[in-house]
Structure 1
Amino acid sequence: MESSGVFFPRARNSETCSTLGAVTVPLVELKEVTVRAGGRTLLENVTLRVAPGEALRLAGPNGGGKTTLLRLLAGQVAPVRGERIYGLGGRLHTSAVHARRSLSVVGPDAEAFYLTRDWEQTVCDVLLAGLQGETLNLWEAGTDALSRLNEVVALTGLVSLLERDVRTLSHGQRRRVMLARALMPRPKLLLLDEFTDGLSAAARAELSPLLQTVQATGTALVLATHRPDEAPNLNWRTVYFHHGKISNIPPSTIHQPPPPASLPPAPFPLPASLVRLSDVNVFRNGHPALGPISWAWEAGQHWLVTGENGSGKSTLARLIAGEFHPALGGHVERPFLKRDLLAERRRSIGVVSAELGIRQRTSSSGRRWTGRDVIGSAFAGTEGFMEELTAGQGAWVSELAERLELTELLEQDAETLSQGQLRRLLLARAVVHRPTLLILDEGLDFVDAESRARFVALLPELVRGGTHLMVIAHRANDTLPGLTHHLHLDSGQVRSSSALI
């Protein structure tokens, strides 16, 4: 795709060339670029320009190439064929060194480094590191750095979180921090991967004018999204992706998935109470994350949990699953388990969350970690490694993958998958062992409409087998018919708990 009337001279060598004066220089130009990873072609013969100050929206199904394009623009992956030319700073470069220091993708991958390390990084540290294009803050902040920090913190509303350990933040709070980090070096190009997923309606409303302000200063935006209706109100140019190729023309036919079936009544030989919380408080990094809360999940109940970012929804999910424990004086009981041990909890509870996606992308053993491994690890409740499956378990993994149209992902390296492809595998992982409790913590984020419909179609069958559902969601269309109860959290406490039907 070429912008009409703009001539972009070819760079003469790998590092630099001339300053172009009055000629309009695209920030990035791709010429017939192909990207491969894990033996697969992720982008093929892509030609694209990103002009200064423009708003470019990327659309298409999971695995179409949107996330790979963002990584390519950011210099995180390199083309095996074609040319990638940067016009950052008014000079032409084919080297991605400058791009890697000044451009970053705001999305789950940007959070992964901080969530997979065992040392504390405050929000302040993360933002100051971003000013230098680094992941860690390696220098004492000078006057200019602190001045820029104050500007960005005020712009993004992070004053109250500056001293918090970034690992203890909610999904939505982390997304805001990663946006602020990307803004620190005053980038000319901002790259957003499913940026609105995980954000409450109020957070989306706050950040939309912020991005409008950013673009008004001359910064270009590239947004990959499955939810175009949530994009900020900008003059978007939309590019459609399918199988690693791009077009200005949307698909001629779009499958409209059928409405999800209502959940059937659950069978009962289960205890009346599945989970009981009594006077529970959870603290993270010395800050209250949940509580005090007393609440019960009874047999036959399917819960919708709502609340603003930071209200305690994800903490509740991780508490139920046994990842977190209550402070002294609080009690969590799980009567549906014969023995309330971590291994038993992991075998009986299915969870899909942003944190799990980050932990499941790579193998902790150092060996190749495939889509089949991601799904199969649910049987033993492991993360990053998998015990050998029985013949029956292996056959069920293959059958479930076929029903969810995941077969082509089973032998692919998990590190090469898009966010949407990985999330689809995690949804399969959450149900492959037919759990008693299934917790979807914004679980349908990153997933295209057809894939969501295929997964939701499995739920009535699971419920008939005894599965109980909890859906944590910010959007009405991510809830499901047949949910029976609604829990609304605010500042870590229960504001309302009531029946839906």
Structure 2
Amino acid sequence: MAHLLGADRVSLALGTRVLLDGVSLGLDDGQRIGVVGPNGAGKSTLLRVLAGTQEADDGRVTRAGGTRLAMLDQRDELGGGTVLDAVHGSADAHEWASDARIRAVHDGLLPDVDLGADLTTLSGGQRRRVALAALLVRDDEVLVLDEPTNHLDVEGVAWLAEHLVQRFGRGNGALVVVTHDRWFLDAVCTRTWEVHDGVVDQYDGGYAAYVLARAERARTASVTEEKRQNLLRKELAWLRRGAPARTSKPKFRLDAASALIADEPPPRDNLELTRMATARLGKDVLDVEDVTLALGGRTLLDDVTWRIGPGDRFGLVGVNGAGKTSLLRLLSGRLAPDAGRVKRGKTIRVAELRQDVEDLDEVADLRVVEVVEAEKRSVVVGGKELTASQLVERLGFTKDRARTPVRDLSGGERRRLSLLRLLVGEPNVLLLDEPTNDLDTDTLAALEDLLDGWPGTLIVVSHDRYLLERVCDRQLALLGDGHLRDLPGGVEEYLALRRAALSGAGAGAGSGAGARTHVPDETAAAGAGTPPEPVRSAADVRAARKEVTRIERRLAKIADLEKGLHDQMAAQATDHEAITRLDADLRALAAEREDLELAWLEAAELAE
């Protein structure tokens, strides 16, 4: 493979922090590199150095002759003008409209954006998609993308992943991308670079392969550290032998012990979201009953019913502007419906993580530890009392950062602090609006570990498929038609519905995408005429699982009975009357088996 880009012993420091320390890397044709690492480790800095927009303190960056490179920064610096100017510059329409690849970029990123619109009138999400489209319509050999999935919904992330995989195959250039979207990393990347402590570790494969390799590295480091500790104990024990006055220890033994003590490796994975106690949750949690909500002249929810029980775990997906955040505001009580009601159980204690973390603006002048102390000075975790300073330290805030004012925190640090602030209140209902924004992969893993064992009710709005599929039992969709739709097939079903709706693939697909749905057990005849798929409560799921078990036991019994009848027929092959009777019994068992298999399919779908 041809070499396109390289870094040779590159070093860079910002203030007293060393972000890159003698880093050497190579980028070859056909490679798709995913860059991961903790917030503030230097991922964006590495991309800017490779792209040539930031000078390194030492070392050099090389680029093969004639190689064209384009970079998408986290900041969308589009300037003025129209969308058409930003994407195509002064090129005539016929120059790009005849190119199928460019038309695909328009369809994937700009389906709802007016090409003649002024850039200053666009939302943050639209500006991000315009900036991304402006890069993808070009013919550069190397693309460097910093958080390209920011502001993209599930559908946009899926389109971008497919586009990049098709574009950057062998012989078509190379890609370097920083993202915290684990599904995207696995779908797109062939190699992973981990930036940490001034160095860059390289791994083959996407995120899953990186996690496995890192786990193996941690296991090896643990074995090495155990050997070091054993040797250190022996050396220290030898040095303590003899009379206290004796100081004539061999110098090489003293030097060896000093080297062992100094060789203690720094902690790598010191991030932990502490699992607090959870307030008791009663039988009644949240009931959305015949709710209608309109905002800005658009009907976001149209006569929606949704019953949420104890322990339910729902993931919400949908097109931008469909009303996902507004639905969370209804559940939290921050927004009142135009019609219908939201009934809340007497024992529920709701905590809401907002998308913009705006609740921290009220405490911008407080220090990190003071924010947690204002909620609760100490909590008991696993029988041990932890202070506020110990809690923030567990969440990755060093002693210096724990004394930092909230206004000076990074986006990822603000998100982590908001999570901790919610958890110390011991809620039993969590509403999370885009919880993965600004979080690095280590923090995301800690968040998922916490949510995996969450005993309360959980509602998550996210474009992160990895998170949704791991921590949520069920997915629901808001498709922009005012109705809430159950997704037994998860995110893949949602993407199929959106593809069908956008392509206008027949009345059947259209009715499926727009069917009116009351959740969980009330149906509406209005809409496209197809029966709605109600959202099932936790009790429905448990009953379905019991039914599946009952049917499976009966099917096993029928198999034994059929085997016995066949044995009897073989033993009585000359008895015509016995054969007729046994054959009738077999037919009856076959009919029962067929009915049970149909019932099993229905129950299994409910039990998913």
SS of 2:536's equivalent? strand
Residue matched to 2:17: 40
Contact 1:261–1:457 (Cα < 8 Å) also in 2: no
Contact 2:286–2:309 (Cα < 8 Å) also in 1: yes
Contact 2:316–2:324 (Cα < 8 Å) also in 1: yes
Deviations 1:228-274 (A, max 9, x none): 664476783443322231133664524799xx99999962579x455
5 Å-filtered alignment, 1:465-484, equals: 468-473=457-462, 475=465, 478=468
TM-score by length of 2: 0.51
- The structure 2 residue matched to 1:160, chosen from 111, 115, 124, is 111
Residue matched to 1:267: 280
Contact 1:304–1:479 (Cα < 8 Å) also in 2: no
5 Å-filtered alignment, 1:175-190, equals: 176-184=129-137, 186-190=139-143
Contact 2:11–2:20 (Cα < 8 Å) also in 1: yes
Residue matched to 1:144: 92
SS of 2:168's equivalent? helix
In structure 2, the CA distance between the partners of 1:162 and 1:416, relative to structure 1 (3 Å rule), is same
The alpha-carbon deviation at position 439 of structure 1 amounts to 1.7
5 Å-filtered alignment, 1:235-246, equals: 236-246=190-200
- Whole-Å Cα distance in 1 between the matches of residues 9 and 95 of structure 2? 39
SS of 1:267's equivalent? coil
Residue matched to 1:292: 302
TM-score by length of 1: 0.60
- Whole-Å Cα distance in 1 between the matches of residues 475 and 166 of structure 2? 37
1:392 aligns with 2:377: yes
Residue matched to 2:178: 224
5 Å-filtered alignment, 1:278-317, equals: 278-283=290-295, 290-296=300-306, 300=310, 302-310=312-320, 312-317=323-328
- Whole-Å Cα distance in 2 between the matches of residues 435 and 84 of structure 1? 52
Residue matched to 2:569: none
- Whole-Å Cα distance in 1 between the matches of residues 97 and 60 of structure 2? 32
- Whole-Å Cα distance in 1 between the matches of residues 407 and 66 of structure 2? 34
1:128 aligns with 2:85: yes
In structure 2, the CA distance between the partners of 1:305 and 1:457, relative to structure 1 (3 Å rule), is closer
**Unpaired segments of 5 or more residues in structure 1?**
7-23, 92-97, 115-120, 132-140, 338-346, 380-387
1:424 aligns with 2:416: yes
SS of 2:92's equivalent? helix
Contact 1:397–1:432 (Cα < 8 Å) also in 2: no
For the aligned residue pairs, the C-alpha RMSD in angstroms reads 5.4
SS of 1:103's equivalent? strand
SS of 2:123's equivalent? helix
In structure 2, the CA distance between the partners of 1:416 and 1:307, relative to structure 1 (3 Å rule), is same
1:82 aligns with 2:36: no
- Whole-Å Cα distance in 1 between the matches of residues 54 and 159 of structure 2? 32
Whichever of the two has the greater Rg, that structure is: 2
In structure 2, the CA distance between the partners of 1:150 and 1:74, relative to structure 1 (3 Å rule), is farther
- Whole-Å Cα distance in 2 between the matches of residues 54 and 470 of structure 1? 38
- Whole-Å Cα distance in 1 between the matches of residues 477 and 410 of structure 2? 32
Residue matched to 2:234: none
Residue matched to 1:248: 202
- Whole-Å Cα distance in 2 between the matches of residues 416 and 150 of structure 1? 49
- The structure carrying a bigger helix percent of its residues is 2
SS of 2:416's equivalent? helix
Residue matched to 1:68: 45
* Aligned amino acid, residue 103 of structure 1: M
- Whole-Å Cα distance in 1 between the matches of residues 197 and 111 of structure 2? 43
Contact 1:348–1:437 (Cα < 8 Å) also in 2: yes
In structure 2, the CA distance between the partners of 1:228 and 1:274, relative to structure 1 (3 Å rule), is closer
- Whole-Å Cα distance in 1 between the matches of residues 52 and 314 of structure 2? 40
Deviations 1:425-465 (A, max 9, x none): 443244344456422234246656653454455559985xx
SS of 1:161's equivalent? coil
The alpha-carbon deviation at position 182 of structure 1 amounts to 3.2
In structure 2, the CA distance between the partners of 1:264 and 1:235, relative to structure 1 (3 Å rule), is closer
Residue matched to 1:192: 145
Residue matched to 1:494: 484
Contact 1:266–1:300 (Cα < 8 Å) also in 2: no
* Aligned amino acid, residue 206 of structure 1: W
Contact 2:274–2:450 (Cα < 8 Å) also in 1: no
- Whole-Å Cα distance in 2 between the matches of residues 62 and 254 of structure 1? 20
The alpha-carbon deviation at position 351 of structure 1 amounts to 0.8
- Whole-Å Cα distance in 1 between the matches of residues 425 and 98 of structure 2? 49
SS of 2:280's equivalent? coil
Deviations 1:284-316 (A, max 9, x none): 6x665x222534565635341333443543442
Aligned length: 410
Residue matched to 1:407: 398
Contact 2:376–2:388 (Cα < 8 Å) also in 1: no
Deviations 1:131-155 (A, max 9, x none): 6xxxxxxxxx645379558964532
In structure 2, the CA distance between the partners of 1:479 and 1:318, relative to structure 1 (3 Å rule), is farther
- The structure 2 residue matched to 1:209, chosen from 162, 165, 182, is 162
The alpha-carbon deviation at position 391 of structure 1 amounts to 8.5
> How high is the sequence identity, in percent, across the aligned residues?
25
**Unpaired segments of 5 or more residues in structure 2?**
204-212, 220-268, 380-385, 487-534, 542-608
5 Å-filtered alignment, 1:285-364, equals: 290-296=300-306, 300=310, 302-310=312-320, 312-320=323-331, 329-330=338-339, 333=342, 349-353=351-355, 355-356=356-357
1:104 aligns with 2:76: no
- Whole-Å Cα distance in 2 between the matches of residues 364 and 84 of structure 1? 45
Contact 1:292–1:493 (Cα < 8 Å) also in 2: yes
Deviations 1:173-208 (A, max 9, x none): 776545314335554432234555886765554333
Deviations 1:335-372 (A, max 9, x none): 579xxxxxxxxx9632153x44xx699x799x8x89x5
